[in-house]
Amino acid sequence: MQVCFCQKPLRSCPVSVSLYIKWWQSRQQDLAIAKEMAEYSDFDDFVARGLWRGAFRSHLLFLSQSSFVMDGNETLMVDFLGHFETLDKDFQQVANKLGISSEIAHRNKGSVEAGAGMTAATREKLAILYAQDFVNFGYTP
């Protein structure tokens, strides 16, 4: 059984960026891209002058979640698609389908609403850039 868990695009992109910026120092092969990212003053600047203008779009961290689980015809390529926002419930469905009794520890659960701290312009740009994820996974921008 192939399983995938997705999260609201307004949360996945900022999380990826912030984690990447924190971790780049320990990854020699990513030093060049980390230096490029350091030139943006904040996340809003990164979206406006970077992602929106096409920079980093082919980088693994900034691909749409859909690109990993949907084929060219927009058909889901996994047997079950869960959401981090309903992790406990969705994980239980997977466990039930597999015939196992298990629970999942949900660590590092964010308490901030997806998109909090972003300007309206940034949220709008991300809604356009990741429109495929909003549609495919049932989220609203």
Q: Taking all residues of the chain, what is their mean pLDDT, rounded to a whole number?
A: 85
Confidence class for position 141, pLDDT limits 50, 70, 90: confident
Read off the pTM: 0.81
For residue 105, is pLDDT > 70? yes
Per-residue pLDDT for 111 more than 70? no
pLDDT in tens, 3-62: 999 998 888 876 677 666 666 555 665 677 777 888 899 889 999 999 999 988 888 888
Higher pLDDT, 18 or 136: 136
Q: Centre a 10 Å sphere on the Cβ of residue 37 and count the other Cβ atoms it contains.
A: 18
Name which of 94, 100, 67, 63 is nearest 81 in CA terms. 94
- Residue 65 pLDDT more than 90? yes
Whole-number pLDDT of residue 25: 57
pLDDT of residue 117: 77
CB atoms within 10 A of CB 46: 21
Contacts of 141 (CB under 8 A, 6+ apart): 10, 123, 124, 126, 127, 131, 134
Using CA atoms, how far apart are residues 64 and 58, in angstroms rounded to an integer?
A: 10
* Residue positions counted in the chain: 141
Question: For residues 108 and 62, what is the distance between their CA atoms, to the nearest angstrom?
Answer: 21
